[in-house]
Each structure stands twice: as C-alpha cells, then as structure tokens.
Structure 1
Amino acid sequence: MATATAPRTPDAGPQGTDWTVTHAVLRFLRAELGCDRLFTVPGEAFLPLLGRAGEAGLELVTVRHEAGAGFAALADARLTGRPGVLAVNRSPGAANAAIALDAAQADPTALLLVVGGAERGADPRTGFQATDIAAFLGGLAPVVTVTGAAGLPAALERCRRALRAAVPGPVVLVVPEDVWEEPAGPAPAADPEPCTASERRRNGQRTAAAVREALLAAERPVLLAGRLLRGPGGPAERPGALLARLGEGAGLPVLLGNKQQDLLDNAAPCYGGHLHLGTPRATRERLAGADLLVVLGDRADTVHLAGPPPPGLRVLTVHPEPAGPGEPLAADPVAVLAELAGQDWPEAPAARREWLRGWRALETALAQAAPQPRPDGVDFAAVAAALGRRLPPDAIVTLDAGNFSSWIHRHVPLGAGQRQLALAGGSMGFGVPAAVAAALRHPDRTVVAVVGDGGLLMTGNELATGCAAGRAPVVVVADNGSYGTIRGHQDRAFPGRDCGTDLVNPDLVGWARSFGLAAERVEEPHQVEPALRRALAARRGYLLHVRTSLQAVHANFDLPRRA
C-alpha cells in the first residue's frame, strides 16, 4: 500500500553525535535533489532510512516488487523533472530493480537506487544476501558504496554529479546495514560546476549559428526533437512552444524522437510524425528524401533511422555527448533550441513550404483510423481511435512495450497539455507502475495505462499500490493471447514454428476486481466506445479487458493467415 507522510520542510538536524549517516542521506534526497517521494519494498538493511523518511518530508510509497518501484520512480522523475528515488534491500532487491537501471540508461533519466547493503566485511560467497552489488550492477550504472561515515560526503557528491549531469542517468548508492547509524559530520558545500552558464550560452550561440547556416542552405530539412530538450527543469520548461515557433518560422518539419510524442502539440502545422519502432513505412520513405536532418537533444540511433542514413542525407547531432552518424555538435540542446526559436527567419521558398505541407498532410492521413472486422477479436485501431477522441486535455497516458503501442502512437494525437510516458529502451512492465505513480502524483488528472496481456502480468500487481491509496489509473489491456511483438518476428523468421509466444491468461476482469477495481470485458467493436466512456468517468480506477485480434498484430501489418 502507499503510506503517505505529510511533507514538511526538512530540518537541518542535530549537527552533533545525533547527526547520523541516515540524516545526511535524507537531507541529500530532500534538500539537494528536491525529492519528496521514495518508492520502496521495505527491508531490514535500510530500516533507519524508512523510519526517518517522514521526518525529512519524504512520502513513502510501498510497492509490491522492486521492478515496479523502479518503473514508478522513473515515471515520477519524468513528471517532476527531479531525480526518481527508490530504496531496496541487499542483493535480491538490487537484482530485481536492475531493469529500471537499464531503462534509465537507455532513455536518459536521473534515477537514484539506494541499496541497504550487507554489513561491512560480509563475504560475498558465504554472507547472507551479500553478493557484490558493484560487480553485477556496475555495467548498468555507477555504483557508489559508502564504507563509513567519513566517505559519505564524497559519495553523495558523486551521486549528485551523475544525477545532475548534462546527460542524466542512473546511479546506485550502497549503504551497508551497519553504517546507517554512524555519526556523520556536516555536509560540505557542493563543488562548483566545471562549466558556467555563460560558457554554455556562448557555446549554444555558436552551435545555433552553425545549425542555422545548414538549415538555410538545405532544400528539404527535417528536425528531430529528443528527450534532452525537456531540460533540467522538467515539465515547467516544456519545449513545445519553442519547437512550434522554430518549425513554423523556418518552414521546418519537426519529427519527435522515440517515445517523445508529447514534446510538441501533434496538431501543430510543423508536426511531421514520431520516429519509433512502429513508424509507418510512408514516414520513413519521406524521411529518406530529406537532404538535412538536425537531431536536437537526442542521437540518431537505429530506431530513428532504421539503419544507416540514406545517401544524400546530411546529419547534424546537437547533444552534450553526441554519437552516431553524421557531424557531432557538442552543446546544450535546450540553449540551441531557445536561440534558434528566438531568431527571425526569412520566408521559406515555395518548394520548402510545399515540403512542410507534405509532411503535415502525410501525418494527418496516417492518423485516420480504419478498423476492420476481424475473426479473432477487436481491431485495436478502434480502441486507439476512441481513446484519441475521448482523452481529456490534461490526460497522462503511460505505455507498456508491445505492438499495441503502434496504434496509440498513430491514432492518439497528443495536445499541448497531455503527457505520454513510455520507455525508448523497450522494457516490458513499465505501463502499470508508471500509471500508478502518475495517479499518485496528479490525483486530479485522468491517467490511462495501455498495456498488453504480457506486460500486464509482469508488474500489474502494482494496482494494489494504487487501490490502497484510493487512486488507481484506468488500465486498457490489449489481450491477443500472445507475446505479439515476438510473434511477428517468429512468423517471419520461423514460419509455422512455435517459439513459445502463446499465452494462456486468467480471468483479467475477475483479477482486477480482486484488487477492488471496477472492470469489464470488451469483445466486440460496438462495445469499445461506451466501455471507454465508463472507464474514463471512473475516479478510482478501471480496467478494460479488450480481447484483441492476433491477426491484426500491428498498426502497419497483419500476421499471415495460418492454414
């Protein structure tokens, strides 16, 4: 259940023998990182942290599995612009939480995993739950181990730098069980940042000048906007208005990076679509006709380009740590966007204006849903289209990984006030914990999780967390009785073979009701609209179990019919 402690201003705490490692860590979380929420599966190796969290103004959210805690913390970080924090117990808890580290690394997000470790000196071979955490998590994130109170200030400063870096990411802080209650000295002042704001601004101006020159020389340019444009301030600095101003002023189509569909109002005249694993072929074919691609706040990876850049396409990547094909421009993408959007642009030539109109027309055509009658279930295009018509203007949509998301990206346009939370790295299990975190963070907004039957039963147990807090999300389950994404690969690579993709699911309506959640089943297309209306009107959560077609496995293609 979610255990809420009323946030309060953190005390400076006793700066003497009563000031412990626990106090110092809590002050770091609250005062240095600005965090007010701690997701956890409680454990005995970090009980002092849990016992004093409320005194420091941190709300404890007790979840049912460490993977759920990690995904919820990731979602909370995306919504607040502050690092997400979770705390787990020894090596089993750390192992369960590792999936969130992988996701935060693949899709840069500031995430702090606090591990209550085994006591100092425990043998990793014979000690209880004493596996070397640095050894098995070190490839996913920096692992900072506090061996005693004397080393705590340096450890916390290392964590702070990783979480506040230009490209944020995950970090692991290991505090052995016998260290928490050690007396600790006052925290030293943070070291100054190596790069000043004026230096970043000057570098941004130089980079913007180079990008402007390339844009003015191009005939068919495209801008790809990525995650780092959200900036360190999170939602308060959403870049949609700047992107729209730049796109419309420069006659520039704006594409959105993988799982970043909410960066720009999808109704904007310059919006040209979203590059993800399910990007329609027509969009990729049109991109192949561009002569310049400016990647701003992301990297041109294999998902964005679906292979090497086509001949004749010049690629410029504006990123603090650029990588990938094309010309690297190391700079703060937020500063570059602000500089470009604030400039006056000459009227684009007629051919350039037609190039932009063609992108907008293509995206409008692709967004039109045309669900077909299916012999084995509901065409999920009908669900996506209904969701697109009925989502409130401030809705938050979370997506799990799976082919069903191709319909959401294609047929659910997002407005300026809506959010979409999804993982570029493709981890299954994100949808429900992320939606629970969103519902707890924004109890006044409609939160909808769209998940497949595979991902639902990985972390759907976190509905217990939301229901216990009295604020569960709406969950729309696309149930085709299969790991559908892998089924598509299976039918191409090993036609007629069984690769273990079939699923036998429980009664999901009964399962949802066992949590105290209202639920219903949708088995026919005509049931979609009224069922969705009831679900969105619910204030304490709802589950729609949609029996979807396996034949219609993806928005872009069907599975071949089997004999």
Structure 2
Amino acid sequence: MTVTAPHALEAGTAAPPTGTVTHEVLRFLRSELDCDRLFTVPGEAFLPLLGRAWEAGLRLVTVRHEAGAGFAALADARLTGRAGVLAVNRSPGAANAAIALDAAVADPTPLLLIVGGAERGCDPRTGFQATDIEAFLGGIVPVVTVTDAGELADALQRCAEELRAPVPGPVVLVVPEDLWEEPAAQATGAGLVQGVPEAHTGSERPGSDALSDRGQRLQRRAAARVREELLTAQRPVLLAGRLLRCGAGADAEPGALLARFAEAACLPVLLGNKQQDLLNNHASHYAGHLHLGSPKATRDRLAQADLVIVLGDRADDIHLHGPRIDNQRILTVHPAPAGPGEMLTADAVPVLRELARAPWPTAPAGRQEWVGGWRALETGLREVVPQPRDDGVDFAEVATALGRRLPENAVLTLDAGNFSSWVHRYIALGAGQRLLALSGGSMGFGVPAAVAAALRHPDRTVVAVVGDGGLLMTGNELATARAEGRMPAVIVADNGSYGTIRAHQARAFPGRDCGTDLANPDLVRWAESFGLPAERVEAPHQVDPAVRRALASRGGYLLHVRTSLQAVHANFDLPSRR
C-alpha cells in the first residue's frame, strides 16, 4: 500500500479541466461525503479518477488486493463515522471486493464501491472484463450504473441516500471507462441528501418538516412503549447494537448514554454481536457480549429474562441463540425492525437519548439483585485458569496478557475464528478502546482493518488478532503498512487448522478429514520479509514478555503463537484424539 498525498501543480503544468464526470465524482466524495482517502487497486478503467484525486484533496491508498481494500475502507468507515470509499477495475476488481460488500450488509456500514466499468456498448459475453456488474452484485447491494453524463447527478444522489439511510449500507457506483472525461453539469449539492443517520426519522428520509414531525412522533412513541414495559418488568435486559454508534457519529460516545440509561432504569446491558466496545466493560451494568462464542451461562441467564429490549439492532439468530422462556417479551427499536416480538420503527439514538433523560423510580430490591447477578456472572466468566496443553499454548494465556497490557486508547481488530472467543471472554474493553470486527464472520478482515486503523490513528496502538487461516488470506497487506511506514502489531493464533470448522467437523464427522488441516510457512521469517520484527511463542512463560515487547514496538510486531488445537475454543475443547 502506498499513500499519495495531495500536492500542488508542477510549474508549467496546465490547469486541469473542470466540469467532467471525474470532477463531479471527486466533488461528491469530498464535499458531500467528507471523504479524505480512497482505497484502491489501480486500474485503467478509472484512471482519470486516480490521476485527479489530489486536486480534490484525496489521498490514494494503494492496496495489494481488492478484498483488502474493501476491508480497509470498511474499517475506516467504522473509525470515522463517514462512508468508506474504494475504487476498483471492471468486473474482476468488483468480484474481489464483493466480500467487503457482504460484510457491510451483515453489519450495516456505509461503503461506496466505485467501479471503473467496461466501455459503453461492450458485449458482456465477448468484451474484455465486461461481465455485467449489476447482474452479479445486484443481489447483494444496490448497483447504480451511469450510462450518460446527464444521469450523474441522479446517480450520486441515489448513492448518498443509500449511504445515509437510517440503516446505512454499501452501494456500488459503476462509471464506464469512456465516460470519465465527458462534460457533466456541475451539481450544487442542494439536491443531495444531507446530514448523517442521526438526522433521519423513522424509516423516512429527511427534507420535509412533515416527515420530521412523523419521525419524532415515532421516536416518542417507541420511547414511551419501552418505558411502559420496563416499569412492569421484573427481569429485563437491554441488548444494544450497531446503529447506536451510527446515529451518534464517530466522536460521540454512545456508551455514556447507555450507562446513564442503564443506571437510571436499573437495567443490565448486553452488547450486540461484535459491538463489545459500545459500553465500558467495567461499568456496573455491563452484562456481557452476545456473539457466536458466548458462554452457555450467559445464554442460560438471558433465557430467564422476562423482557428483552433490542435497541439499534435486530434480534437475530446469534443474539437469540439458546433457550428462551415462553413468556419472554421482545421489543425491537430499529429503523427497519425484523425478528420475533414487537416491532417499534424508529431511530435508536434519539430513543436512547429520551430514555436516558427520563425520570425513573427507584428499582425494587429484586430488580437490583437481577442486575447484580449479571455483573457477578460476567466478572466470574473473566476469571481464567489456563490449562497446560501438550500441543501448544492455551490462547487464554495470550488474551489475558493482552488485556492486562492493552493501552487505554488502543484499537483492537479481530479476524474471524474461534480464537476470538478468548478475546471476547477475557479482555474487558475500556471506554477509550475500540474493537473492529465483523458480525458476518468473514475471514480476512483483521490485518487490512489494522492497517487502516494505523493510518487513520498513527498516535494509537493498533493490534490485530488473527488466526493462521485468515492471516494468509489478506496478510499481504502488511506490504501496504510497510510502504506507509506505519505498522500495526499482529498476534497470530496458529493451531495449524481452520479451527472453527474443525470443531464442527469433530461433531458432525468424527474421525474424518474435511480439509481443515493447514500447512503454514515459517511465519516469523514471513513477517520479517515485510520488515516487521517478529518472534515465536511456544510456551506459556514466553507469553507475557512477548506481548509486552509487541505493544512497546513503535515499528509494529508479529507474535507467532503456537496455539493448542485441543483447546479449540474458550468454552470447550476438541474431543481427545486418544
């Protein structure tokens, strides 16, 4: 990855033309989306966009693979609260970037994929890299194709609407190669959707006083309904999700609102899948984090709740996995709610604000005991006694060492895999720490996300925790970090297997090989080839000093941890091979 900074016109260089499709797209990125960097694998089909990006003040971040570019842009969107933007070349680039689109749908994130398309009139069957992008991406996300310069303003407006919708999400903008330099009517931006998701009301788009009034009524009604249920519930639980961060914006702290509401209403707070940093994990009302690897004790206690308020998320299979009681009531507050129970269509952030400032009566003793029981359970689950293993290090050793030493403002990125179960269980995230992970379970996010975070926040410690499988999917983006001179720390859990699938394999096909074994290179030498200091950890006593060295290194670091495959998950072991 290289980052090309804006620069002045060289002496004797003619001033660039204005008013082309290229200039209007760049104006849209800077003025409407407040975008300051463009992740890309360069291609000839959108070369004018790259060649003139500096005129608009955009930094070009050149990445080694479109999947890495997509994951990096997605992580940057999470950190800034703005849309992440990447640009790729024709159908191969779009296909490679599709994994990031899928991830942005599963965990709503505004992501704009700009595709330099084949020339207009090109036959998709015989043209070079001319596969119909709408045909193969349209089932994942909205695809907006510009076939005439006169359509550009409407196309950009539609992109803005998707990115700033109450449930923000990804969108694809396709601009044919032969259209970039055509003249385009200069848009003023007045017709484009303004503001951020916080300004939206209900499922409506802003721009009308009538719609705003309707949205406010929906929000007040939702807050009143939640309050009504909470006043009569004996064992309520609040499940807080992703959209609380979207509405509040990147600089606001949804955790402060959550803590105020939970304290006033005497309410335990569970955090939605991969949203563990929404609330200070040391807070008295923090009850845990619901994800694929949540401990059974957490699921069992959730089943005892008589009321579950889902705020800014949906009650999906992961959140509600496990037992439930027959009389458990579920209320979902979401701009587009789905799932079981009662649906309250409203933006979650203003509802949370109203609930946080509302007066609440003193909770009865039973309710206080209910909250205290949650806190005691969560505290107990974090107590760890790592076990000696014959086949490698128990990853609980690594998670607890990392949790002790992680700086207060650190950014932690996670790839997908069973190793993340130790991170979620044993690391308590503070108010200033960020977690970047994907609720959809896509592998390959960890390293590109860490690289994007290191570029966005060069003053903060960035740590990626990845498995040996995910590392070799997108770990080549360490070349990107090297080119920029800003390396993250990387901790690799290497058990020589696709561990998550190995656990499924042990249950469904015991004794059979389902292709889960991995043959890995020497990861220390591999990291050193990128200029990254590295060391191997093969015994428990080596863990804590190695983690300390990794976090102290200003030039990045890689810890190659030989982890136990027997200890495949924080909550269970694989059956003994003996």
Per the TM superposition, whether the score is higher than 0.5 is yes
Output the CA distance in 2 between the equivalents of 1:308 and 1:112: 39
Q: Secondary structure at the match of 1:302?
A: coil
Q: Secondary structure at the match of 2:52?
A: helix
How much does 1:15 deviate? 13
Q: Secondary structure at the match of 1:247?
A: helix
Output the CA distance in 1 between the equivalents of 2:411 and 2:139: 32
1:422 corresponds to: 437
Contact (CA 8 Å) 1:393, 1:418: kept in 2 or not?
A: yes
Residue 486 of structure 1 is aligned with which of 485, 501, 510? 501
Contact (CA 8 Å) 1:15, 1:185: kept in 2 or not?
A: no
Structure 2 residue runs of 5 or longer lacking an equivalent are 9-13, 194-205
Given residue 460 of structure 1, which amino acid in structure 2 is its aligned partner?
Answer: G
1:286 maps to 2:301: yes
Output the CA distance in 1 between the equivalents of 2:504 and 2:192: 50
Trace 1:68-107 onto structure 2 (pairs within 5 A): 68-107=68-107
1:412 maps to 2:427: yes
1:11 corresponds to: none
Output the CA distance in 2 between the equivalents of 1:199 and 1:436: 42
1:511 corresponds to: 526
2:467 corresponds to: 452
Contact (CA 8 Å) 1:247, 1:254: kept in 2 or not?
A: yes
Distance 1:266 1:403, change over 3 A: same
Distance 1:358 1:107, change over 3 A: same
1:224 maps to 2:239: yes
How much does 1:293 deviate? 0.1
Residue 335 of structure 2 is aligned with which of 320, 338, 345? 320
Contact (CA 8 Å) 2:550, 2:557: kept in 1 or not?
A: yes
Trace 1:230-241 onto structure 2 (pairs within 5 A): 230-241=245-256
Output the CA distance in 2 between the equivalents of 1:18 and 1:501: 55
Output the CA distance in 2 between the equivalents of 1:7 and 1:265: 41
1:549 maps to 2:564: yes
Given residue 514 of structure 1, which amino acid in structure 2 is its aligned partner?
Answer: S
Output the CA distance in 1 between the equivalents of 2:485 and 2:15: 39
1:526 corresponds to: 541
Distance 1:194 1:18, change over 3 A: closer
Output the CA distance in 1 between the equivalents of 2:192 and 2:299: 46
1:467 maps to 2:468: no
Distance 1:542 1:16, change over 3 A: closer
Contact (CA 8 Å) 2:102, 2:140: kept in 1 or not?
A: yes
Q: Secondary structure at the match of 1:437?
A: helix
Output the CA distance in 1 between the equivalents of 2:16 and 2:300: 67
Percent of pairs with identical residues:
75
- Cα deviation digits, residues 269-305 of structure 1 (max 9, x gap): 0000000000000000000000000000000000001
Contact (CA 8 Å) 2:248, 2:254: kept in 1 or not?
A: no
Q: Secondary structure at the match of 2:464?
A: strand
Trace 1:325-404 onto structure 2 (pairs within 5 A): 325-404=340-419
1:46 corresponds to: 46
Q: Secondary structure at the match of 2:251?
A: helix
Output the CA distance in 1 between the equivalents of 2:489 and 2:244: 29
Q: Secondary structure at the match of 2:171?
A: strand
Distance 1:265 1:473, change over 3 A: same
Q: Secondary structure at the match of 1:236?
A: coil
Distance 1:233 1:215, change over 3 A: closer
Q: Secondary structure at the match of 1:491?
A: helix
How much does 1:234 deviate? 2.5
1:164 corresponds to: 164
How much does 1:19 deviate? 1.2
Output the CA distance in 1 between the equivalents of 2:17 and 2:544: 63
Contact (CA 8 Å) 1:231, 1:237: kept in 2 or not?
A: no
Distance 1:206 1:16, change over 3 A: farther
Distance 1:209 1:439, change over 3 A: same
- Cα deviation digits, residues 442-478 of structure 1 (max 9, x gap): 0000000000000000000000001110101000000
How much does 1:307 deviate? 5.4
Contact (CA 8 Å) 1:78, 1:234: kept in 2 or not?
A: no
Output the CA distance in 2 between the equivalents of 1:265 and 1:17: 51
Contact (CA 8 Å) 1:16, 1:185: kept in 2 or not?
A: no
How much does 1:203 deviate? 2.2
More displaced 10-residue stretch of structure 1: 184-193 or 128-137: 184-193
1:443 maps to 2:463: no
- Cα deviation digits, residues 7-41 of structure 1 (max 9, x gap): 89xxxxx9997310000000000100011010000
Contact (CA 8 Å) 1:551, 1:559: kept in 2 or not?
A: yes
Q: Secondary structure at the match of 2:250?
A: helix
2:122 corresponds to: 122
1:190 corresponds to: 191
Trace 1:138-177 onto structure 2 (pairs within 5 A): 138-177=138-177
Contact (CA 8 Å) 2:391, 2:563: kept in 1 or not?
A: yes
How much does 1:104 deviate? 0.3
Given residue 335 of structure 2, which amino acid in structure 1 is its aligned partner?
Answer: P
- The alignment yields a C-alpha RMSD, in angstroms, of 1.5
Structure 1 residue runs of 5 or longer lacking an equivalent are 9-13
1:20 maps to 2:20: yes
How much does 1:204 deviate? 1.4
Q: Secondary structure at the match of 2:318?
A: helix
Output the CA distance in 2 between the equivalents of 1:480 and 1:258: 25
Residue 268 of structure 1 is aligned with which of 275, 279, 283? 283
Output the CA distance in 1 between the equivalents of 2:491 and 2:260: 35
Contact (CA 8 Å) 2:239, 2:272: kept in 1 or not?
A: yes
Contact (CA 8 Å) 2:19, 2:185: kept in 1 or not?
A: yes
- Cα deviation digits, residues 204-241 of structure 1 (max 9, x gap): 12210110000011000000000000134532122101
Output the CA distance in 1 between the equivalents of 2:306 and 2:215: 29
Output the CA distance in 1 between the equivalents of 2:140 and 2:66: 16
- Cα deviation digits, residues 371-397 of structure 1 (max 9, x gap): 110000000000000000000000000
1:200 maps to 2:215: yes
Given residue 39 of structure 2, which amino acid in structure 1 is its aligned partner?
Answer: F
More displaced 10-residue stretch of structure 1: 309-318 or 163-172: 309-318
2:550 corresponds to: 535
Distance 1:309 1:146, change over 3 A: farther
How much does 1:6 deviate? 3.9
Contact (CA 8 Å) 1:309, 1:325: kept in 2 or not?
A: no
Given residue 182 of structure 1, which amino acid in structure 2 is its aligned partner?
Answer: E
Q: Secondary structure at the match of 2:313?
A: coil
Contact (CA 8 Å) 1:7, 1:59: kept in 2 or not?
A: no
Contact (CA 8 Å) 2:101, 2:111: kept in 1 or not?
A: yes
How much does 1:309 deviate? 4.6
Output the CA distance in 2 between the equivalents of 1:383 and 1:256: 23
Output the CA distance in 2 between the equivalents of 1:191 and 1:74: 23
Output the CA distance in 2 between the equivalents of 1:18 and 1:298: 43
Contact (CA 8 Å) 2:248, 2:349: kept in 1 or not?
A: no
Contact (CA 8 Å) 2:72, 2:451: kept in 1 or not?
A: yes
Contact (CA 8 Å) 1:111, 1:171: kept in 2 or not?
A: yes
Q: Secondary structure at the match of 1:86?
A: strand
Distance 1:402 1:17, change over 3 A: closer
Q: Secondary structure at the match of 1:303?
A: coil
How much does 1:343 deviate? 1.2
Distance 1:232 1:354, change over 3 A: closer
Given residue 75 of structure 2, which amino acid in structure 1 is its aligned partner?
Answer: A
Aligned length: 558
1:133 corresponds to: 133
